[in-house]
Amino acid sequence: MADKTLPFSRQKLEEILSKYPTPFHLYDEKGIRENARRLKKAFSWVPDFREYFAVKACPNPHIMRIMQSEGFGADCSSLPELLLSQRVGIRGDMIMFTSNDTPAQEFLKARELGAVINLDDISHIPFLEQHARLPELACCRYNPGPLRGGNAIIGKPEEAKYGFTRDQLFEGYRILRDKGVKRFGLHTMIVSNELNVAYHVETARMLFDLVGELSKDLGIRFEFVNLGGGFGIPYKPEQQAIDYEVLSRGIRDAYEEKIRARGLHPLSIRMESGRAMTGPYGYLVSRVLHLKDTYKKYVGLDASMANLMRPALYGAYHHITVVGKEDRVRDHVYDVTGSLCENNDKFAIDRPLPEIEIGDIVVIYDAGAHGWAMGFNYNGKLRSAELLLREDGSVVQIRRAETVDDYFATLDFSSL
């Protein structure tokens, strides 16, 4: 069972609400740090284990600074994400640049920062060479294509736009080697929000096997494999979080069998997890503006899918509680909606909740990754603030809410 309780008291929340208007995202620093430490501890047997926090999941410099202080790097995929990392002071091989369809300017910036460049396609080798020179260390992203006994959750890698085919991988590393690249890494990412440890272990086994084959075939030595992100979180209370110790044990067995036994040790293991690093430690806090009773019962919040798009985009479940009514029976059924002129602007459909009143504070869980970050301005919705609950219990605003002036900033009224 996943813990769906708040990391702050009701009194603390009242204090926060007296200072900051809803809606806002609130991140729990203690939760983020404890999770980061659990991950590091579980993989402490790995030489130079490293997690590159996927910046896209929660692109806030304060969150990135927390990650940095836990020894994590940054996984970037765009120029602004690279610039954010630079501003935080993350540089060199603490940045993994995993992009696709990449503009030349972004490769240039990544090279300037000394980032580890993860190539998405074989054609990017000459492209990178032409625009930004080849680095000493290069990594390629593998797409395994149709997986034996294809799995509904793994999906169909052959339909994903990412990565090299197997043949291209051998050819790509050969080209890189012949062009003087000296150091190598191998990357893949084939699952998303996957709670089943077996799939992540399987991914590691696949990469370890490939490292063996590529090393033998091409006479090159790999420094790391990067398992990508895609580690799931228990959005539903009845789901179970990934046990990092179990994950680590599975990967360690594969490492002993496929890496150490073949004399390929030391090979480092890298990850670029986003969701599992901050997802469970972020809360979208919102207030009930309206109740509506027509063909269904509706709760109208002051937040909308512009603050958290996952339910509307993927039909994703996000747990919801009503502050102060956590222990009441959930004997009412509501659609919990935002104010966008889109009928899919619903945080929950037919959700059993305690009776809700106007003014109630509603908390939407697991909004710490791919939450604020996916926000948008459609319908003139302004992005909300981000707050950080520090380990000492204090709360700081780490991003203010947008104003109408921000929304108008790119418009030219003068030529009207």
Q: Which of residues 224-283 bind ligand PLP (CB under 6 A)?
A: 228-231, 272-276
Q: Is 58 an annotated catalytic residue?
A: no
Q: Is 368 in the site for ligand PLP (CB under 6 A)?
A: no
Please say which residue, 165 or 192, places its beta carbon nearer to ligand PLP: 192
Contact yes or no for 284/308 (Cβ under 8 A): yes
Binding ligand PLP (rule: CB under 6 A), the pick from 189, 284, 306, 363 is 189
- Taking the C-alpha atoms of residue 300 and residue 41, their distance in angstroms, rounded to an integer, is 43
Q: How far is the CB of 369 from ligand PLP (least distance, A)?
A: 6
Q: Which of 54, 116, 303, 364 binds ligand PLP (CB under 6 A)?
A: 54
CB of 361 to ligand PLP, least distance (A): 28
Q: Smaller CB distance to ligand PLP: residue 46 or 54?
A: 54
* Catalytic residue, candidates 58, 76, 139, 341: 341
Cα–Cα distance between 303 and 372 in angstroms, integer? 11
Q: Per CB under 6 A, which of residues 117..176 are in contact with ligand PLP?
A: none
Query: Looking at beta carbons, which residue is closest to ligand PLP?
Result: 229
Helix 124-132 and helix 166-178: axis angle, to 10°? 30
214: Cβ contacts below 8 Å, ≥ 6 apart: 169, 170, 173, 186, 220, 222
Task: Count the residues of the shown chain that bind ligand PLP, applying the rule CB under 6 A.
Answer: 18
**How far apart (Å, rounded) are the C-alpha atoms in residues 409 and 406?**
5
Size of the chain in residues = 416
Taking CB under 6 A as the criterion, the residue among 75, 202, 302, 386 binding ligand PLP is 75
By the rule CB under 6 A, 373 interacts with ligand PLP: no
β-partners of residue 301 are 288
User: Smallest distance from the beta carbon of 410 to ligand PLP, in angstroms?
Assistant: 27
| Among residues 312, 353, 369, 373, the one that binds ligand PLP under rule CB under 6 A | 369
DSSP 8-state class, residue 370: T
Task: Kindly state the smallest distance separating residue 297's Cβ from ligand PLP, in Å.
Answer: 34
Q: For ligand PLP, give the closer residue by CB, 157 or 212.
A: 157
**Within a 10 A sphere around the Cβ of 21, how many other Cβ atoms?**
12
Tell me whether residue 234 or residue 338 sits nearer to ligand PLP (CB atom): 234
Q: Smallest Cα–Cα separation from 177: which of 137, 206, 211?
A: 137
* CB nearer ligand PLP, residue 168 or residue 339: 168
Nearer to ligand PLP, 168 or 379 (CB): 168
Answer for which of 36, 39, 57, 116 binds ligand PLP (CB under 6 A) is 57
Is 306 a binder of ligand PLP (CB under 6 A)?
Answer: no
Structure token digits, residue 289: 């503006």
Nearest to 252 by CA among 51, 46, 49, 36: 46
Neighbour tally for 167: CB within 10 Å: 9
Burial letters 232-246, b for 16+ CB under 10 A, else e: bbbbeeeeebbebee
Task: Compute the distance between CA of residue 22 and CA of residue 386 in angstroms, rounded to an integer.
Answer: 11
Q: Smaller CB distance to ligand PLP: residue 230 or 371?
A: 230
Shortest distance in whole angstroms from residue 207 CB to ligand PLP: 14
Q: Is 203 a binder of ligand PLP (CB under 6 A)?
A: no
CB contact at 8 A, 73 and 53: yes
The two tokens of residue 310 are 């996952």
Compose the 96-115 pattern: x for residues touching ligand PLP by CB under 6 A, - for all others.
--x-----------------
Distances in Å between the Cα of 385 and the Cα atoms of 13, 206, 323, 373, 397 are 15, 42, 20, 12, 7
Phi (first) and psi of residue 160, to 5 degrees: -85, 145
Determine if 344 is a binding residue for ligand PLP (CB under 6 A): no
Catalytic residues: 341
Residues contributing to the site for ligand PLP (CB under 6 A): 54, 56-57, 75, 98, 189, 192-193, 228-231, 272-276, 369
